[in-house]
């Protein structure tokens, strides 16, 4: 079962990716941190005063609430409040940011299906299962995890609440945090022509290199770099930590 909490008091000068990693570490003792929603960040590239954190685990919400008043990264005292699904007291504050957030694509890992099933059957199953959530952008099926991209925070939140319906173990494992940089999800042609470069990134993010065009990358390189500088950066600088770890 997934629960939702509201967290504030963290360092709002952080990049959203770094906040997500900090949240995962801070609430690790409570359960799995599946998703951290940073309102308005996709549009402003600035953290809002609070974030919504989605947890899975026995008594995860109760455990998380006990961390209210604790210090995150040894610097900031956070406030943790219950914000169950269906609560709407933050809606008026979220409303100005919701349209932009609902235009964003959110990629997530989905696990729990039988690895023996044909890929086409898994795709059909996932399409049917998640169709009620909203617009589905793409699906890529791997041996033990499928990568699903949905449009919008509302769609993503609905997906997190879905039950198995005959597929008891099917669940959203984790939603990918925002990029370090706003790099395009379809890389320029030279990227695919340079197979060693593509395979290097693929090995780090655990995706078959031929499917890289379907994913957002955590590349530590500013988008204004030239093609040659970007290639050099990928080869010489470690790619940011793996998207699902």
Are 77 and 30 in contact by the 8 Å Cβ rule? The answer is: no
In angstroms, the CA 58 to CA 76 distance is 27
pTM over 0.85: no
In angstroms, the CA 87 to CA 68 distance is 19
Name residue, tokens 């991209």. Answer: 149
Strand blocks (E) in 23-177:
32-37, 50-56, 71-72, 76-77, 79-82, 105-111, 136-141, 145-151, 171-175
Q: Is the pLDDT of residue 3 over 60?
A: yes
According to DSSP, residue 210 is labeled G
- pLDDT of the residue at 193: 61
Structural domains in the chain? Answer: 2-100 (3.30.70.330), 105-175 (3.30.70.330), 189-236 (no CATH)
Would you give the distance in Å from CA 242 to the centre of its chain?
12
Would you give the distance in Å from CA 32 to the centre of its chain?
13
Residue 242 pLDDT grade (very low, low, confident, very high; cuts 50, 70, 90) = very low
In angstroms, the CA 122 to CA 134 distance is 19
pLDDT digits 0-9 by tens, 65-105: 999 999 998 889 999 999 999 999 999 999 999 999 999 88
pLDDT digits 0-9 by tens, 26-76: 999 999 999 999 999 988 889 999 999 999 999 999 999 999 999 998 889
């Amino acid at each position: 079962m997934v629960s939702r909490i509201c967290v504030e008091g963290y360092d709002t000068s952080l990049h959203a990716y770094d906040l997500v990693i900090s949240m995962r570490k801070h609430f690790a003792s409570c359960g799995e941190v599946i998703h951290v929603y940073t309102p308005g960040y996709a549009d402003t590239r600035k953290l809002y005063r609070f974030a919504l954190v989605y947890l899975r685990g026995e008594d995860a919400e109760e455990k998380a609430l006990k961390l209210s008043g604790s210090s995150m990264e040894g610097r900031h005292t956070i406030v943790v409040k219950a914000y169950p699904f269906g609560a709407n007291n933050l809606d008026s504050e979220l409303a100005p940011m919701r349209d932009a957030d609902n235009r964003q694509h959110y990629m997530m890992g989905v696990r729990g299906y039988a690895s023996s099933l044909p890929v086409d059957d898994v795709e059909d199953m996932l399409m049917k299962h998640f169709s009620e959530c909203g617009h589905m952008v793409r699906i890529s099926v791997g041996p033990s995890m499928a990568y699903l991209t949905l449009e919008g925070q509302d769609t993503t939140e609905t997906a997190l609440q879905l039950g198995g319906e005959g597929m008891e173990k099917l669940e959203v494992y984790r939603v990918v945090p925002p990029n370090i940089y706003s790099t395009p999800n379809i890389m320029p042609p030279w990227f695919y022509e340079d197979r060693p470069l593509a395979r290097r990134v693929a090995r780090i993010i655990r995706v078959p290199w031929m499917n890289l065009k379907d994913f957002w990358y955590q590349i530590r390189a500013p988008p204004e770099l030239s093609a040659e500088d970007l290639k050099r950066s990928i080869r010489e600088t470690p790619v940011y930590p793996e998207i699902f770890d």
